[in-house]
Structure 1
Amino acid sequence: MRNSPWFFVSRIAISVFCAETFIMLLFPLLPNMPQLVEVFLDSTLLSILISPALYFFLYRPFNHQYKERLLMEKELRLSEADLKQKAEQLEKTMKKLQLAPQLLQAEKMSSLGRLVAGIAHEINNPVNFIHVNLFHLNQ
């Protein structure tokens, strides 16, 4: 309801009515005023009284809305920057996850190589022992 244009029009109408009523109350106090002075006084007082009313009823609410929008835009920019940073971190994590199978395969091969080396060592030791001692057995 407060954002309706009729709300602002009613505020202006009320301020004009109050200014005109104030001016009309001044006229009986000054009965011998020439017509030109009356018109000048009427327009001057009306503009003096309406200007603050227009400020308080129109400019301040719009200014408040403008400041709220600026604040929301700032928060939006901050959240966009935060989301961009999180997206970059997510991309880095995805690249690491894509490398994980290759690293796992390399680790498996390394373990298999150690296992084969251990088995070869276990076979090589007794065979070597027998080979070295065959000469002594022959004698």
Structure 2
Amino acid sequence: MQQRLSLITLGVADLQRSIAFYRVLGWEPHPSSVAGQIAFYQAGGMVLGLWSRAALAADSGVSDSGGWGGVTLAHNVESETDVDGILIAARDAGGTIVREAAATDWGGYSGVFTDPDGHPWEIAVNSGWPLGPDGSVRLG
């Protein structure tokens, strides 16, 4: 298996609510999405999907305990101002700020919000992981 990630699918309780939330953050579903069933987003060299939590659990062969699944998503940006702006937009769209933006022990700056289904997103600046022109991150 190649060292690559192609797709992250988030299980959501209300697909339309989640699409609306991500739309406020500037994300638009790809035309290959299936209305009322699943939303796909081109995210650099990979894809983010939003799908019914129950359907995702069944398809993955797991029991849904309803709790946090031990995964946090991250979005790296170029500046502290970008971090702050995205956190404000997420809060205004109905997300919850669970860690205010601040300097980190590893020399960066980050904060965390959760989307309406509780999926945590870290928004970060990390000078040790430079961003490419397409927004891709490279280990420094």
Range of TM-score over shorter length? under 0.3
The higher radius of gyration belongs to 1
TM-score (norm 1): 0.20
TM-score, normalised to structure 2, is 0.20
Q: Which has the higher strand share?
A: 2
